[in-house]
């Protein structure tokens, strides 16, 4: 996987570091030997970051002609229009089949390249109105951390850049690999929405409410058990109404939705890292029947459990501990 990251004068170190850190961890953990990242700019040489550091050995735009993923990790805070050199490189790479990624304000460059017409897009919350005006014909969605259209990805601000990069790891190497990278970086793993247009949100840290955090921990250790609201409320020693209110306030989701997401997360891990039958995976993850499991899986990931497993069985499972 050849990844070309655009570097420009006044880019922040953080925005450059986000993709370099995530994709570099893939190599350091031995999850894929053919992943490599390269910094490029309008011309070869060096760039000066907003913090005043000079980065040398930056290559020219020719690297995008062989890149599988081209990333614009941010954009100038004055939001200038995309220049001809970078615009040509981005459009040519896209037409050749490369995935174009606009992280944070980098979504403006992707919009200027004409790749978001009729599509949903996200960027830093403070620039949503500017992007809506700039990308006429696109729908700006402020409710997601990032959006993947398959050939074009955009992310919300700053830390969401890491979320989007982790998503790309998961998309190409599987959920278990992405979880290993997230654990190594001491950040939260992610869950993904429909695969037709990936819209993902973070799993998040344990709830600050210790009672709810205890319930979450119990759920994760008993995913095969019956999980009615009443049972969870009893475990929390709360009334049903109080428990639902506290859970939603702490996690941003209903108990039923949170449980379903964790069961689906675990099902993907088992599909990737074990040879268990679909029936066994369904049972271990608490789905009432294999039919229910297949239906839930298809709705969430736009594919069947069997197809999902087939997609990842070619991966080297030695690196993906069960």
**In the chain, where the domains are located:** 2-202, 210-319
| Greater pLDDT, 234 or 157 | 234
Mean pLDDT for all residues in the chain: 87
Question: What pLDDT does 6 receive?
Answer: 98
- pLDDT bin (cut points 50, 70, 90) of residue 203 is very low
Predicted confidence at residue 204, as pLDDT, reads 42
DSSP, collapsed to helix, strand or coil, labels residue 62 as helix
Residue 59's pLDDT band, with cuts at 50, 70 and 90, is very high
**Helices 240-251 and 255-273, packing angle to 10 deg:** 60
- Among 19-33, 49-63, 144-158, 192-206, whose mean pLDDT is lowest? 192-206
Give the residue from 39, 47, 42 showing the smallest Cα distance to 86: 42
Q: Mean pLDDT check: name the lowest of 68-72, 80-84, 214-218, 308-312.
A: 308-312
Average pLDDT on 18-47 reads 95
Phi and psi of 4, rounded to 5°? -110, 120
**Beta carbons of 138 and 111 less than 8 angstroms apart:** yes
Q: What percent of the chain has pLDDT over 90?
A: 63
Helices (DSSP H) in the chain: which residue ranges? 13-28, 84-96, 106-112, 128-134, 160-173, 175-184, 210-221, 229-236, 240-251, 255-273, 278-284, 290-301, 305-312
What local confidence, expressed as pLDDT, does residue 303 receive? 85
Whole-model pTM above 0.75? no
Query: In the CATH hierarchy, which top-level class contains the domain 210-319?
Result: mainly alpha
- Which carries the bigger pLDDT value, residue 316 or residue 95? 95
CATH class name, domain 2-202: alpha beta
């Amino acid at each position: 996987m050849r990844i070309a990251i655009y570097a420009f004068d006044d880019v922040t170190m953080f925005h450059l570091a986000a993709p370099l850190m995530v994709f570099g961890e893939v190599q350091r953990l031995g999850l894929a030997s053919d992943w490599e990242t390269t910094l490029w700019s309008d011309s070869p040489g060096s760039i000066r970051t907003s913090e005043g550091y000079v980065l040398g050995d930056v290559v020219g735009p020719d690297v995008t002609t062989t890149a599988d993923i081209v990333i614009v990790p941010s954009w100038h805070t004055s939001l200038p229009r995309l220049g001809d050199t970078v615009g040509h490189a981005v459009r040519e790479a896209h037409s050749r089949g490369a995935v174009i990624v606009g992280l944070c304000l980098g979504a403006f460059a992707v919009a200027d390249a004409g790749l978001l017409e009729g599509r949903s897009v996200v960027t830093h919350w403070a620039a949503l109105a500017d992007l809506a005006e700039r990308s006429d014909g696109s729908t700006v969605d402020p409710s997601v951390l990032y959006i993947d259209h398959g050939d074009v990805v955009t992310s919300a601000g700053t830390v969401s850049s890491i979320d989007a990069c982790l998503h790309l790891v998961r998309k190409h190497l599987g959920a278990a690999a992405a979880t290993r990278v997230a654990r190594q970086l001491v950040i939260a793993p992610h869950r993904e929405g429909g695969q037709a247009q990936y819209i993902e949100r973070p799993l998040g840290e344990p709830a600050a409410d210790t009672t709810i955090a205890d319930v979450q921990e119990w759920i994760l250790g008993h995913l095969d058990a019956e999980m009615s609201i009443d049972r969870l409320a009893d475990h929390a020693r709360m009334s049903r109404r109080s428990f639902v209110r506290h859970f939603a306030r702490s996690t941003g989701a209903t108990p039923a939705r949170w449980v379903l997401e964790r069961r689906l997360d675990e099902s993907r891990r088992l599909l990737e890292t074990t040879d268990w039958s679909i029936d066994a995976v369904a049972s271990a993850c608490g789905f009432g029947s294999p039919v229910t499991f297949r239906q839930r899986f298809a709705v969430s990931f736009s594919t069947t459990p069997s197809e999902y497993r087939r997609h990842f069985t070619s991966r080297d499972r030695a690196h993906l501990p069960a």
